[in-house]
Amino acid sequence: MVTVSAPGKLMLFGEHAVVYDRPCLVTAVGQRMRVTVELLDMPEFLLDAEDVKVIGYKKQMSEVGIGEIPKGAKFVEIALKNFLEKHPMKTGIHVTTSEFSSFFGFGSSSASTVCTMKAISELTGIKLSNKELFDLSYKTILDIQGKGSGFDVATAVYGGTLYFVTGGKVIEPLNISELPLIVGYSGVKADTVTLIGEVKKKLEEEPEKVNRIFDAIKDLVEKAKADIVKGDWETVGKWMNFDQEYLRDLGISTEKLEAMISAAKKAGAYGAKLSGAGGGDCMIALVPNDKRKAVGDAITIAGGQVIDVSVNTEGIRVEK
């Protein structure tokens, strides 16, 4: 039996543009997905994932990836299918997932995919490098969603704070010791796939305008990367504010997110923006230490929920 865990993610800069071959900046968060895998004598695949209401799911190993797959089982099952195609197994397998709700938009699907792949590889003695783990896990996400940049997969594998280019063309860890963020949840669960589709439609209808926004976001990512490494938080906050304007132009912000962002800035944040696909989920604020309480209170008064979450945390690891 092997248990592994991987972190969720928070996007700092580069939302949506990263789907179209631009870079992004992303950090690993303290909420971790845990997956336990044990080998079975019978050639069966068993899955228990209480967090997504999948209990006692079972099929023959020869049927993995075939036929109807419940939504909550897809990422684990397709991860197993992709592993088996490269490394066939004669035994069966029981996968149990736990912790880290999909509620806040921290990338639970990618984390569970990476954990499953890592746990099976450890249990079977097939040692995968981080890049091999990323590639197999990213393929799984594309098999299911059809589109995706892979930054959440990279964060689950590598942890820390990353400079990332679509598809893992560049995965560069940033050497930083702190990241003074406050995270606020809007109370609305966003549908990432739908929002990516809406931005894609906008790109098709107004390619010049949207590509101009993506290029401007790319420039902000490069500037923010340099200033994050320097620890110049005031300037990073300024880039956050500019980034939010571009995301607003893409049509992915909401009144609730705008209210939380505005409240954070008025309370003394260096800068604030939505984080992720938009349409709900979370916003982030970069704050001086002496303004943390004031900014947190302001986000709460604006109707948000401040989430106590550590950032820049460790990537995939074997627990036992």
Look at the chain and report how many structural domains it folds into.
Answer: 2
Closest alpha carbon to 311 in 105, 185, 160, 106: 160
Which two three-digit tokens encode residue 294? 């004031």
What pLDDT is attached to residue 156?
96
User: Under a CB-based contact definition with an 8 Å cutoff, are residues 50 and 96 in contact?
Assistant: no
Element (H, E) at 75: helix 74-86
Q: What is the Cα–Cα distance from 60 to 21, expressed in whole angstroms?
A: 39
Give residue 100's pLDDT: 58
21 a catalytic residue: no
Q: Are residues 7 and 147 in the same domain?
A: yes
Query: Is the same domain home to 14 and 147?
Result: yes
Among candidate residues 240, 253, 287, 284, the one with its CA nearest the CA of residue 267: 287
Do 268 and 157 share a structural domain? no
What CATH number does residue 127 fall under?
3.30.230.10
Model confidence pLDDT, tens digit, residues 226-282: 999 999 999 999 999 999 999 999 999 999 999 999 999 999 999 999 998 888 889
Q: Determine how many CB atoms are found less than 10 A away from the CB of residue 262.
A: 13
CA angle (126 as vertex; 123, 131 as ends), nearest 5:
115
Are 166 and 274 part of one and the same domain? no
Cβ neighbors of 290 (< 8 A, separation 6 or more) are none
Could you give the CA distance from residue 243 to residue 264 in angstroms, rounded to a whole number? 16
Are residues 179 and 13 in contact, defined by beta-carbon separation less than 8 angstroms? no
Catalytic residue among 135, 152, 243, 281: 152
Please give the Cα distance from 111 to 179 (Å, whole number): 21
The predicted model gives 36-40 an average pLDDT of 95
Q: Is the domain of 27 the same as that of 154?
A: yes
Is pLDDT of 64 > 90?
yes
Q: Model's pTM, two decimal places?
A: 0.92
Q: Which domain holds residue 92?
A: 2-175+313-318
Helix (H) or strand (E) holding 128: none
Dihedral of the alpha carbons of 195, 200, 202, 205, in degrees to the nearest 10: -160
Tens digit of each residue's pLDDT (9 = 90 or more) over 157-213: 999 999 999 999 999 999 999 999 999 999 888 777 788 889 999 999 999 999 999
Mean pLDDT of 273-300: 94
Q: In the chain, what percentage of residues exceed pLDDT 90?
A: 83
